[in-house]
Amino acid sequence: MQLGNRSGTLVLLVSVFTTAVVLSMAVDAKTDSDPYLRPHTVPAPADNKPTNERVTLGKMLFFDPRLSGSKWISCATCHNPAMGWSDGLPTALGDGMKVLERSTPTILNTAYNKLQMWDGRFRSLEEQALGPIQADVEMHKDMKALLKELAKIPGYVELFEKAYPGEGITEKTLAKAIASFERTVVSTESPFDRWRMGDGKAVSVAAKRGFELFEGKANCVVCHQGFNFLDDGFHNIGLKDNKDDGRFAKVPVKVLKGAFKTPTLRDIELTAPYMHNGAYKTLDEVVEHYNNGGQDKANLDPNMEPLNLNPQEKADLVAFLKSLTGKPAEITIPRLPN
C-alpha cells in the first residue's frame, strides 16, 4: 500500500536565495566551502520564495489538525518537533489509528532533497504536502471541503492574503505555505560541525575515530555524503524479511527492488526506531547490521559488504553518529486562527 500517491503538476524552478528574512544568518565563507557543513542558503522554487508571512501561515497549517478528516491529526502529529520531527514509532499511525507500513521520516533538511519520500515519488515539498492531507490512511481529508472550510476561517483568509496576495486559498497556496515552513526546518550546529570549524574539543576522541571509520574502513560515505549525509539515491541494504518494493514500484528496474532513499543522518540520535520499516531500535543495532554486510542478501547493493569491525570500532561509529545531534531548535507552537 502506498500513501497519498498524488502526482501534482506544479512547475518548479529551483533557485537559490539568501534566507535573510527567515534565518537571518550571515554567509560564512568557511561554512560554504566545507561540504560537511550545511550551506546557509536553502533552495526554494522561484515562484515560492519564503517570506515571513508565508512561513507563519505554513507553520499554522502544519500544526493544524483541522486539515484532517478526523480534525485530530496534523502534520506535526507524525512529524513532531519534540521527537526530531518524527514520531518515535516503528511505522506511522494514521487515520483511525491504522498502523502504516513505513516509518515517518524527519522533515529536517528536506528542503535540500532532490526527491521526497522513502521511494522518492514526489519531487518538491509543494507536491508532497498535498499527499498526506488527502491520503485515506493518513489525514483522510477531502481537498475541496478543506479549502471551503479554510475560507470560512477569517484568520486564515487574512493570512493567505498576506502571504499570497490575490492568489486565494487554493491547493497551490496551501501547498506553497506548508513547504515554506518546512524550508525553515534545517539542521542546527552540532558538535561535529564545531569540530569541522576548528574546535578540536567539540567531539570525543571516539567520535573522531568513528568519523575516520565512516569515511574509511566502514565506507558509509559511499552512500551517506556531504553535510546532509545522503546521496539522493536508492539502495537495497538487505533488511531482513523486507517485502516492500520501495523505489521499484516507481521505477521498475531490478536493482531498485527493495531499494529505499538514503536518509539524512543529521539528528539521527533523535529519530529512533530506524529504517523505512522501523527495523532497528538503536544505533548499535544499525551498526551491527552494516557490520554483517546486511541480512537478506538477495538484490543487495554491491557496496554492502561485511566490515569486520571490532567492538571498539562499532562504539566509535555510534559516538560519531551521535555527534551529529544539533543544538535544540527553539520551536514555538502557534496559536491557530479561528
Is residue 218 near ligand HEC by the rule CB under 6 A? yes
Among 8, 81, 105, 326, binds ligand HEC (CB under 6 A): 105
Question: Scanning the structure block, which residue is given the C-alpha cell 565506507?
Answer: 219
Q: Which cell numbers in the block locate residue 199?
A: 574546535
Can residue 270 be called a binding residue for ligand HEC (CB under 6 A)?
A: no
CA atoms 113, 117, 121, 126: torsion sign: negative
How far apart are CB 130 and ligand HEC at their closest, in Å? Answer: 8
Which phi-psi region, left, alpha or beta, contains residue 187 (left: φ > 0; alpha: ψ -120 to 50)? beta
Cell triple for 309: 569491525
Q: Which of 31, 48, 77, 228 binds ligand HEC (CB under 6 A)?
A: 77
Residue linked to cell 538503536? 282
CA dist., res. 99 & res. 263, Å (int) = 22
Return the range that interacts with ligand HEC (CB under 6 A); candidates 27-35, 144-152, 158-166, 218-226.
218-226
- Per CB under 6 A, contacts with ligand HEC among 299-328 are 301, 303-304, 317
- Would you say 119 or 171 has its CB closer to ligand HEC? 119
Q: Which is nearer to ligand HEC, 3 or 165 (CB)?
A: 3
Residue position matching grid coordinates 520564495:
49
108 touches 186 (CB < 8 A): yes
Q: Which CB, 202 or 259, lies closer to ligand HEC? A: 259
Q: How far is the CB of 59 from ligand HEC (least distance, A)?
A: 11
224 to 243: interface string for ligand HEC, x by CB under 6 A: x----------x-x-x----
Sign of the Cα pseudo-torsion (145, 147, 149, 151, in order): negative
For ligand HEC, which residue of 124, 271, 323, 325 counts as binding (CB under 6 A)?
A: 271
Q: Candidates 49-57, 186-194, 195-203, 256-264 — which segment interacts with ligand HEC by CB under 6 A?
A: 256-264
- Least CB distance from residue 204 to ligand HEC, whole Å? 17
Question: At a CB cut-off of 8 Å and minimum separation 6, what does 14 contact?
Answer: 43, 44, 45, 46
Is there a contact between 277 and 90 (Cβ–Cβ < 8 Å)?
yes
Here the cell at position 174 is 496551501
Q: Does 128 bind ligand HEC (CB under 6 A)?
A: yes
Give me the count of residues in the chain.
338
Which listed range, 12-20, 31-39, 153-161, 284-292, lies at the site for ligand HEC (CB under 6 A)?
284-292
The angle at the Cα of 276, spanning 121 to 132, to the nearest 5 degrees, equals 50
Q: How many residues bind ligand HEC, per CB under 6 A?
A: 53
Buried b (16+ CB within 10 A) or exposed e, 252-263: eeeebbbbbbbb
124 part of the interface to ligand HEC, by CB under 6 A: no
Q: How many CB atoms lie within 10 A of CB 199?
A: 11
Our finding on whether 274 is near ligand HEC (CB under 6 A) is yes
- Quote the least distance from Cβ 230 to ligand HEC, whole Å: 8
Contact status, residue 284 vs residue 318, Cβ threshold 8 Å:
yes
Q: Which of residues 47-76 bind ligand HEC (CB under 6 A)?
A: 73, 75
Q: Does 132 bind ligand HEC (CB under 6 A)?
A: yes
- Is there a cis peptide before residue 45, judged by omega within 30 degrees of 0? no
- What is the closest distance, in whole angstroms, from the C-beta atom of residue 115 to ligand HEC in the complex? 7
Among candidates 50, 94, 88, which has minimal Cα distance to 75? 94
Is residue 69 a contact partner of residue 140, using CB atoms and an 8 Å limit? yes
Residue 113 touching ligand HEC (CB under 6 A) = yes
Task: Tell me which residues touch ligand HEC (CB under 6 A).
Answer: 3, 73, 75, 77-79, 92, 94, 100, 102, 104-105, 107, 110, 113, 116-119, 125, 128-129, 132-133, 138-139, 178, 218-220, 222-224, 235, 237, 239, 260, 262-263, 265, 268, 271, 274-276, 283, 286-287, 290, 301, 303-304, 317
